[in-house]
Structure formats: C-alpha cells, structure tokens
A and B are shown apart, each in its own frame.
Chain A
Amino acid sequence: MKHLRKLLTTRLAAIPTSFAVGILIVAVLGFVDAAYLTIEHYKGVIPPCSVVSGCETVLTSSYSLILGMPVSLLGALYYLVIAIGIFAYMDTKKTEILKWTLFLTIFGLLMSLWFLVVQAFILKAWCIYCLGSAVTSIALFVLANIVFKKYMITETVDNTAVLQ
C-alpha cells in the first residue's frame, strides 16, 4: 500500500532517449517471441517431442491456456502495450505515461515467475521460448526499477523538485 501511494505521488524526470529505445527493443524482442508462439498455436502446429526440449509438454499442457486463450497471446499483447507506452512517451514526452507503462512491468514479472514455477515444479519440463519471454519480462522489470531509482523526482519542503 505504501508503495502504491508512493507510486501515485511519484513523478519521473525525463529519461534519455537511448534508455527509452533500450526498453522498447526489449519489449519488441518479447513481442517477437510471444507472437511466434501465438501464431504456432493458431496454426494448429503439433510440436514434435525431441530429446533436447520439453517444449511440447509445456505448450500442450493445460497451463498454456487462460480462459481458452493461449498464454502466448496475452504475452504478445503485454509486450505490445509496453511498446506502445514507451513509444507514446517518446512522442509526447509525458513522464506520467512512462511511469504507468513501467508500473505494468510488475505484472509481466509476476506472470513469468508463475510460469517458471509451473515449468520447474509442476510440468518438470522447459520450453525455450517461454524461458526467452521470462528473460525479456524480467529485463523489463529491472529496467523499470532502474528508471524509478534514478529518475524519481521528490518534492522538497520548499516545493522545488529535485532529482534523486
């Protein structure tokens, strides 16, 4: 709760374009990965079983669907939203947009952690594309945290904003 209140009142300073582009690239990578799996799902491709991976176990498990939708589609939409948010920030320079976009990365992180648990302890099989998505969503969360740490503006007593 304390964190949420802090988040609501926090303002961010502008971040360097290179930083924004970096976040955008990670989101695009995540999007490509998730979109690949989504297309594969809707094409009805039956992934064969092979010695090197347990992908088919993961992708044909009941955990790969949420309300009938493939998890990869939700993932693709998530990365798309992040990319749109970052892009909208680069367009408008409104740091409020940046703040809420970066806030969303916590959901990507939590989903990825859940699916890592599912793969490690429930299915005991790993899907390389799902691990790729875990990497990009963790990376987005870490980048978001760096932004919140480095570019947060706190109000001082005389109401002048200072960069922390």
Chain B
Amino acid sequence: MPGMNTKRIIFWLGFVVVFGLIIWGLVVAMNKPPVMGLNLGAPAPVTEADHVRGSADAPVTLIEYSDFQCPACAIYYPLVERLLSESTTTVRFVYRHYPLYPQPHKNAFIASQAAEAAGLQGKFWEMYQLLFDNQKSWENLPNTESVFEGYATRIGLNTEAFKKDLASDSVKKRVQRDRDEGISLGVNSTPTFFVNGKAIVNPQSYEAFKKIIDDAARGDSN
C-alpha cells in the first residue's frame, strides 16, 4: 500500500525534524552571549592593601574576584598567568577574595586566609600559585591546615608566624572585606573579572581574553 508507506515516511520525518529542531534550538540559544553579570557595580579603586601584579601605570587594570577552591577559577588561573607574561606592560592584575563559603566550597575561606597569611610575609603570589596548582589535592580535605603549612614551608615562610597568622582575626577580616565588597557589587559567581572597572562576560578562550585586554589597552570601550 503506497499510501501507508507515505504515512510512515511522514511519521518518521516528523520525528527526525522534531529532534533536529531541538538540537538546533539549543545550539542557537546557547550561542547568544549571556548578558547577565555585566550590570555589576564598579569595584573599589586599587589600594596599597590590594594584591597587585604589574605596573601601576599600565593602561589596563584587571581585577579578579576569585575563589581558590573554584574549579573554574583554577581553569582561568593559567590564562591569567599567560596574559600577564605576554602583556607585561599593558596589564595590572589585582586579585580579590570571593570565597563561596561555606557552600559550595568549604575550604575556600581558609585557603584565602592561607594566601593572606603568606602575603604578610611578602609571598601572597607564591601561595596563590601553589593553591591553584594543587587545588584537587586539598579541596575535599576535612582539615587543610597541615597541607597549607607544608606549602608555607615549601615557599620558605616562617612557619610559626604563618600558623599564627592563618588563624588570626585580622587575616579573616581582610578576606571578609574583599568578599563583602564583592557582594556589594553584585558579584555572584567566580571568577568575575573587571576590566578597567567594568565587569566582563567570562571569555571562553585565551585568545578571546587577550582580545578584551588588547581592546581595552587601545581605549576601545568594547
């Protein structure tokens, strides 16, 4: 019966079309750049208390609100490192704490404290690198203190002073201050990057990131 066959062909064509439309619709919808996250407040000016790399008169200031336990931040960490090594004269990088603590990252706050405690001995960035490099090995530990003390020893810190600072109120307050400021700006995910005071949608590749920085260095607003 040819009529029967035609009906079946249409039946199955409908099936293929529906699934094709679903996939096509998803791809199209997901290709739209997300607009959210752009309407954040302007971060506080960079001060002496900030952790800064790069020259103060660099045309581009990149501020990152980040969480040492966040896998996405660990993915962006080598991108930022590469950016700093390839754009030494154009970028000044500022790291601010935004630990997503206690949920979902229970060790994020103490990790920030470890970086701050190292910072008191002038080795914030050395600890920053160790924390990101070894994120997988400490993220789920019930107690991270001994691991972080090991890192402190490895980068040549005075371990006794580090231990004391790790638990000190002033270090906790320093981390909390960054986080409070982030909250007041409307930061709700990490990493959140600000380029010359404006929040950017997280670039999905090194090249895209570099382009944003290069454009900002040339003075383009977008």
Contacts and interface: CB of A to CB of B under 8 A. Distances in A.
B35 to A, nearest CB: 15
A146 to B, nearest CB: 24
A91 interface: yes
Interface stretch (A5-13, A14-22, A41-49): A41-49
Contacts of A46: 72, 75-76, 202, 204
Nearest to A123: B140
A40 B34 CA distance: 13
A120 B136 CA distance: 18
A44 B36 CA distance: 19
Interface stretch (B51-59, B99-107, B120-128, B210-218): B99-107
A100 interface: no
Interface in B9-32: 11-12, 15, 18-19, 22-23, 26-27, 30
Contact of A57 (B22, B23, B71): B71
Nearest to B183: A51
A49 B104 contact: yes
Contacts of A54: 103-104
11 contacts: A28-B18, A32-B26, A35-B22, A49-B100, A49-B190, A50-B100, A54-B103, A80-B19, A83-B15, A84-B15, A91-B8
B204 A49 contact: no
A150 interface: no
Nearest to A61: B71
B104 A31 contact: no
Given A49-B104, A91-B8, A44 B22 contact: no
Contacts of A83: 15, 19
Given A48-B190, A53-B104, A54-B104, A39 B26 contact: yes
Contacts of B60: none
User: How extensive is the interface on chain B, given as a class?
Assistant: 20 to 34
A87 interface: yes
Given A39-B30, A49-B70, A51-B189, 12 more contacts: A31-B22, A35-B22, A39-B27, A46-B202, A48-B72, A49-B191, A50-B190, A51-B188, A54-B104, A56-B70, A80-B19, A83-B19
User: How extensive is the interface on chain A, given as a class?
Assistant: 20 to 34
Given A35-B23, A43-B30, A56 B72 contact: yes
A57 B30 CA distance: 21
B205 A44 contact: yes
B26 A57 contact: no
A91 B105 contact: no
A164 interface: no
Contact of B204 (A39, A45, A50, A84): A45
A49 B37 CA distance: 13
Interface string A85-123: 001000100000000000000000000000000000000
B116 interface: no
B171 interface: no
Contacts of B202: 46, 48
B165 interface: no
Nearest to B202: A48
Contact of A43 (B73, B76, B103, B204): B204
Contacts of A80: 19
B73 A49 contact: yes
A142 B202 CA distance: 41
A51 B103 contact: yes
